[in-house]
Amino acid sequence: MKQHSILLFSAMMLGLGACQKGEIPNLNTPVADQIIANGSKEQIDNLAVAMESGMRFTLNTYFDAIGLQGREIYRFSGSEPRYTQELMGGTGLDNNTFYTTNPWASRYRVVRQANTLIDAVNASTRLSANEKKGYLGYAKTIMAYQLLITLNMQYTNGIRTDVKDPNNLGPIKGYPESLADIAALLDEGKTELTGSEITFPVSIVADVTPLKLLRFNRALAARVAVYRQQWAAALTALNESFFDLNGPLYNGYVHIFSANSGDILNPVFLPQNNAGEQRLAHPSYAAQIAAGDDRLAKASLRSAAASLDGLVSNRDVWIHTSNTAPIYIIRNEELVLIYAEAKIQLNQIPDAIVALNVIRTKHNLPVYAGVITPAALITEMLNQRRYSLFAEGHRWIDMRRYNRLNQLPNDRPQDKVWDKFPIPLPETNQ
Amino acid sequence: MYLTKQFTLLVLLLCISIAAAAQLRVTGKVSDASGNPVPGVTVRLQQTNRGTVTDAQGRYSIEAPGGSTLIFSYTGYKTQNLVASGSTLDVTLTEDYANLDEVVITGLATSVKRSNLANAVATISAKQLYGVAPAPTFDAALSGKIPGAMITASSGAPGGGISVKMRGVTSIFSNSQPLYVVDGVFISNISVPAGLNLITGAATAGNPQNQDNPSSRVADINPDDIENIEILKGASAAAIYGSKAAAGVILITTKKGTSLGRTIVRARQDIGFAKARKLLGVRRFTEQTAFERGGATERDMFIAARNAGKLYDYEEEMYGETGLVSNTNVSVNGGTERTGMYFSANRKSEEGIVKNSGYLNNSVRMNIDHQLNDRISLALRATYMNTSADRGLTNNDNNSVTYGVSLATIPEYLDLHPDALGNYPVNPAAANPLETRDKMRNNETTNRVITGGEVKATLHSNDRTNTRLIVRGGIDFFNLKTEAIFPRTLQFMKGQLNGASIQGNTNNLNTNLAGILVNSFAPNPNLNFTTSLGATLETNYLDHILSIATNLIPDQNNVDQAASSQLQQFRQKYRDNGIFIQEEVLLMDAITLSAGVRFDRSTNNGDYKKYYVLPKAAASWNLAKMDFWNIQSINSFKVRAAYGQAGNVAPYGAKFLALTASNIGGQPGSFVDNQFGNPDIEQERQTELEAGLDVSFFNGRLSLEATYYNKKIYDLLLRRNVPSSSGFTQQWVNGGDLQNKGVEIGIGAIPVNSKNFRWNTQLNFWKNTSEVTKLTIPAFPLGAFGNTLGNFFIEEGKSATQIIGTLGGNKGVGVLGNSEPDFQLSFYNDVTFLTNFSLRVMLHWKKGGDNINLTQYLSDIFQTSFDYDDDKNGNGVKDGVDRMNAAGNRDASVRVQDASYVRIREIGLYYNIPIPKNNVISAVNVGISANNWFTWTDYVSYDPESSNFGSNTISTATARGSNGISTGVEVTPFPASKRAMFHLGVTF
């Protein structure tokens, strides 16, 4: 029997002797748990950089989806018929396709990143208290912004504002409640940023300082305030923001792009006169613009009109003039118009007219000469917002805020302007 | 006891040497029933490795101790055991019509005769695989030949891309493709995407799955080298392969040298051409229809084009090329009594049906078998392959750039031909496909070495027992270079990426090592035990680097000749090891009982140290071999049952929450992946119960093989959709159970067998139904582009391959079809007549099974469908308009279409030219064949076999690979081709 044992043993040795030992780690990327547990400052900075980078993902889908609802653009694509069909009317929006799920998932991924950053910062033993405040204030501001643009699409379908624990998500809240949570989150961000120290890379603004981030936070707070019809609060927030009534209209905060490795190109850019994929100005933009308005340049004339599915336009959307051009998150032109809106609503008409005229004159138009009633001025304000913020994601929301979606044009019999997007299927199907 | 044993061994050794001294030479002739010599018969001395092979005249000569038993075996003939009593022993072999004596591999190192086999193991011979009408690649050659398998061509592009699913869907998200083992070497069959998504954006909107549709690496293998293939379809047969066997195992044995005494050189040349299987045609416009499409502008364009004679059939221009196909093969087969050598060199070249597409495969192989001494034998297998495929740009995209999407937008009156200066007109609705085809390049080049060795040693042997040690090891290494070049002058490059050069470099190394100890013990002639014990180790290391350069210097492809560049890298590594033990008992050569268990672990599992236990057991009883059997006409009547478990390891990286690279402002960033890591992930477990009846009548002239199986997959690896407000979209979980039940019936017959006419026929029928029996996560869609276009839907209690979609109006969502066929049937006939003619036909019928046809949809949108103006349903509305109305009404049912077909897969006629006896040429063979030439189907597109998603595309850090479901989704594919060939073979 002994030989058998020897033979068996040698066979086993042959088989098992070749075994290597140990677990095989992730060879490709860092692993989140390790950084949350005890990340170095450099690793935490990487989380902050990616949080900002991730804000840009699928922005094209977001701008297209709401640009189509606001009847600002047409989106023609050889391979994606839904741009000209269900997104413009028909029988309904799909709760499980790209235009519903992708923007939602992309924004919440940044929220997850912000929560991860917050966890890592709170757990870190290598950061000073003021440094921590900087990360936390920035993270909360970004988180609030991501929730806001998600809510823009969902409207009264609502969103989840508490998603800190991925295994135990908070409820889906209604529109006003969600806005209130976003405002509160911005306020928390403000508190953190006050007296903070920014020691990590930020790209939404050059030469970042705590003050610059605070002003960004407050500009967003002003936007949220007008959405909530809290006009006085809007003015207060404006005062703490980078609002400058006579300043350059394009002062603001941006998403930047590059062709560097790991970076992305501006997803909303398409060249002029492009064939195949086209993002066109809705014909009403040029048709209804006042004579001499320089904002017509945002819809450049094509060498040949494009048509698809019964829709025709001869102008390209031309607000991003290269694939590395920035996308504005918020800029002074909007703040001036928020100022005007709040002033109208607070019945401080002369201030409002001053602001509206700032916009008009800067765009080569004569000063406002229409009827001076709040109603007329609201219409004027909305019209200025339409042209000043063309294709920047405002028209549909503005018209919805003032219950004017029925004033948006429908080009074909089956067309219809939707007032909100459905909650994505994976959200409810659990 | 100890001393006695030692003494016995000593005596044994002495006996052997004495016996050697007393050996005598036995010679003889082997002939068949009609007296013709049979060359190539293996003559082996029982209980030893010693043997020889008969020569061209059927003669043999072997040293053997007087009174020893010689075993005469040859494929297609019944094995005979005869005692050599004198110096001459002539033998007459009888044909084994039902292949009952064929030896089938049942363990990692053990085999049994088919007549005792407890499983339904399909075997494909070299002739069936490649001897009828050669397919373009090895994997394509399997089509229709495996009962129980659903084989689908994912791409018609040169180099192919084939999905093989045995006995239904075995995994929903994880690997559903079988393990390929070539001469004991576990080879890689991954598909590596070329990074085309950057250009097409295919995976950026409706479906995040990669849609580059690369070829499967198993296609590299030269089918000419294959001797035979055995297919272990499910866990009951394949359990011994453990955690890699859940989707079945395809065991490939290559040809080996035989010691015929004379070296045989074979040369073969095939030449022929390839054409598109079907072209749909284009919409023919009138002034009226051009006006309806684009108003007065387009009507005027139409009139101008018509009057100038410039109405074009762009489909014909793109897909209508005739490609030259050539295959050259030289093989050398020879050896001595102790050494066998097989060498082959093969060059295959094929032009595609689209200009600038094609496939090239060069390979060499050297197989050496050597008998070191009576106890130890060595086998070495080595092959090198160099393949290159130019695959064009097809399938889905979101940037309107692929050939098919571009073609869908083009009416016949638009002129897209280059002017005299070479400038291509702009297609306003998408890309100019002529320009794209002429300027771009999408190439996959592989350099691959597969090599393995095996040592078999008889540790001890006597007349009742012997113990062998088998050590087997092998490596499969390949480098895959992908090159996707898009010059900056392309219409869709101008002003955007300004040229792109995407170069991928993948190195993949698979190694495997096994040590197996096999003991045979026969206490008496009616009882035989075979015990195996062994350990295996498999490792893999894949390193994939993708360099993307954009804004290129004109006419330059180097990634440094560019203004910007991006890099991606993905690596994966795993280590699986297992230990197994197996016992097989053969009683009275009639009853087989076997049982085994395997312990497996993998570094891909959440707990890499945990061993999973995978048992198996099988029994068969061949009643016809019992003494009481007295039905003369039935010479084999076997009932059998087998049970086994196999696993499917979790995908690499499923257990981590990774942070992917996402940079901005020149700063590096680490972004939480949208796949939520699951540290508790476990492997899928499959159990399969198989039972069957094999009957052979009239001495094997008629045989029946019927099998029922019930395959259950537990702890399904599912990529669960998590509420994306968590920040994650997906997470791997073990979330359900799946069941596949089916039957496989094979009937083989030789209805006529005369000297001048012999007809051999084989009919196979198979059917599978699947059901998701448990789902612990909510039902979820996957695999296509949303409910309005038709989607797969995994739901408890329903078929795993059901297709659902919106029903129109406010009717919600309902079932629209199923991609699983009702049944499949293959019918193989081999007719030999007038001695030298041979006609072989393989017919394949797939009944049922639906596709999601989005090619038609895209053409409908642009009003270019060839049948747009038809009115087949006679409702007074054009069919194209009907279909678009349905789309407008959210009715997805028009997109889900029956993809049944009847196809003559292969047909070939061969003739052996009688040549006068000479010393140079021994045989000349000519033939003509057609591959996939005739198809009957109602499916309205290029081919009912299609898949936009490929079959085994790897998942990387930035791209989601294939899943187990989504075959049959068609989006403007590379049209499938058919081939006609002329063959010439000369044997020296």
Answer yes or no: is B264 within a domain. Answer: yes
Q: Of B529, B742, B586, B709, which Cα lies nearest the Cα of B117?
A: B586
Is residue B633 domain-resident?
yes
d(CA B756, CA A280): 75
Q: How confident is the model at residue B22 (pLDDT cuts 50, 70, 90)?
A: low
Residues in chain B: 988
Residues B511 and B569 in one domain: yes
| Counted domains in chain B | 2
Among B95, B129, B147, the domain-final residue is B95
Residue B915 pLDDT grade (very low, low, confident, very high; cuts 50, 70, 90): confident
Statement to judge: residues B449 and B583 lie in one domain: yes
Question: Where is pLDDT greater, at B336 or B451?
Answer: B451
Residue range B259-315, pLDDT digits in tens:
666 788 999 999 999 999 999 999 999 999 999 988 899 999 999 999 999 999 999
- Residue B7 — very low, low, confident or very high, per pLDDT cuts 50/70/90? very low
Q: What is the ipTM of this complex?
A: 0.92
The stretches in chain A having pLDDT less than 70 are 1-21, 429-430
In the block, which residue shows the tokens 């990487």? A46
Q: Give every CB contact of residue B431 below 8 A, 6+ residues apart in sequence.
A: A275, A276, B400, B401, B402, B406, B490, B491, B492
Q: What CA–CA distances, in Å, run from A44 to A117, A120, A122, A130?
A: 7, 7, 11, 15
What's the N-to-C CA distance of chain B in angstroms?
59
Could you tell me which of B611, B609, B610, B604 has the C-alpha nearest to residue B655? B604
B760-772: average pLDDT? 94
Question: For residues A368 and B68, which has the higher predicted lDDT (pLDDT)?
Answer: A368
The rounded distance, in Å, linking the Cα atoms of A271 and A172 is 39
Q: Same structural domain for residues B639 and B774?
A: yes
Q: Is A14–B676 a contact, with Cβ atoms under 8 angstroms apart?
A: no
Residues B135 and B268 occupy one common structural domain: yes
Q: Are residues B80 and B144 in the same domain?
A: no
Q: Which amino acid is at B120?
A: A
Domains by residue range for chain A, with CATH: 5-267+324-333 (1.25.40)
For residue B808, is it within any domain? no
| Tokens representing residue A220 in the block | 């967003």
> Judged by CB atoms within 8 Å, which residues 609-638 of B form the interface with A?
none
Q: pLDDT tens digit string along B471-517?
A: 999 999 999 999 999 999 999 998 888 999 999 999 999 999 999 99
Task: Indicate if B504 and B359 belong to the same structural domain.
Answer: yes
Tell whether B334 and B479 lie within a shared domain.
yes
Shared-domain flag, residues B31 and B135: no
Chosen for mutation from B726, B794, B889 (greatest number of chain A CBs closer than 10 Å) is B726
CA distance A19 to chain B (A): 7
Q: Which residue of A has its CA nearest to B885?
A: A90
Alpha-carbon Rg for chain B, nearest whole angstrom, is 30
- Which distant-in-sequence residues (6+ apart) come within 8 Å of A96 by Cβ? A424, A425, A426, B781, B786, B787
Round the CA-based radius of gyration of chain A to a whole number and report it: 25
Asked if B171 and B82 sit in the same domain, the reply is no
C-alpha A88/C-alpha A70 separation (Å) is 10
Lookup: tokens for A412: 């074909």
pLDDT value at B57 more than 80: no
Q: Is the pLDDT of residue B733 over 80?
A: yes
B887 domain residue, yes or no? no
* Binding-face residues of A in 109-138 toward B, CB within 8 A: 109-113, 115-116
A348-357, Cβ contacts within 8 angstroms, sequence gap of 24 or more: A349/A374, A349/A377, A352/A377, A352/A381, A353/A377, A354/A245, A355/A245, A356/A380, A356/A381, A356/A384
Nearest in space to B141 (alpha carbons), one of B120, B157, B175, B164: B164
B888 assigned to some structural domain: no
B73 and B221, same domain (yes or no): no
Domain that holds residue B501: 121-279+320-393+440-651+685-783+821-849+899-987
Chain A positions touching B534 (Cβ under 8 A) are 11, 15
- Residue B203 confidence class, pLDDT cut points 50, 70, 90: confident
B225, B138: one domain: yes
DSSP reduced 3-state for A259: coil
**Of A260-274, B203-217, B357-371, B734-748, minimum mean pLDDT range:** B203-217
Please give the pLDDT value at position B20: 43
pTM (whole model) above 0.90: no
Cβ pair A28:B467 closer than 8 A:
no
Pick the residue with more confidence: A10 or B346?
B346
Last residue of a domain, one of B95, B110, B132: B95
Contact A8 B517 (CB under 8 A): yes
pLDDT at A17: 46
Q: What residue type is assigned to position B715 of the chain?
A: D
Class of residue A228 by CB neighbours under 10 A (exposed 0-12, middle 13-18, buried 19+)? middle
Q: What's the confidence (pLDDT) of residue B958?
A: 65
3-state SS of B852-915 is EECHHHHHHHCCCCCCCCCCCCCCCCCHHHHHHHHHHCCEHHHHEEECCEEEEEEEEEEEEECC
B769-783 pLDDT per residue, tens: 999 999 998 888 887
SS3 B63: strand
SS3 B708: strand
Residue B669 lies in a domain: no
How far off is chain A from B185, nearest CA to CA, in Å? 15
Question: Which CATH number characterizes residue B595's domain?
Answer: 2.40.170.20
- The fraction of chain B above a pLDDT of 70, given in percent, is 96
What pLDDT is stored for residue B19 in this prediction? 41
Residues of A in contact with B667 (CB under 8 A): 45, 49, 201, 203
Please give the pLDDT value at position B212.
79
Q: How confident is the model at residue B206 (pLDDT cuts 50, 70, 90)?
A: low
Domain annotation covers residue B614: yes
Q: Both tokens of residue B301?
A: 């364009």
Partner-chain residue, chosen from B570, B603, B722, that has the shortest CB–CB distance to A24: B603
Q: How many CA atoms does the CB half-sphere of B202 hold within 13 Å?
A: 28
Can you give the CATH number for the domain in which B32 is found? 2.60.40.1120
User: Could you tell me which of B865, B869, B860, B866 has the C-alpha nearest to residue B888?
Assistant: B860
pLDDT tens per residue across span B234-243: 888 888 888 8
In angstroms, the first-to-last Cα distance of chain A is 61
- B637 and B778 part of one domain: yes
Q: Tell me, yes or no, whether B399 lies in a domain.
A: no
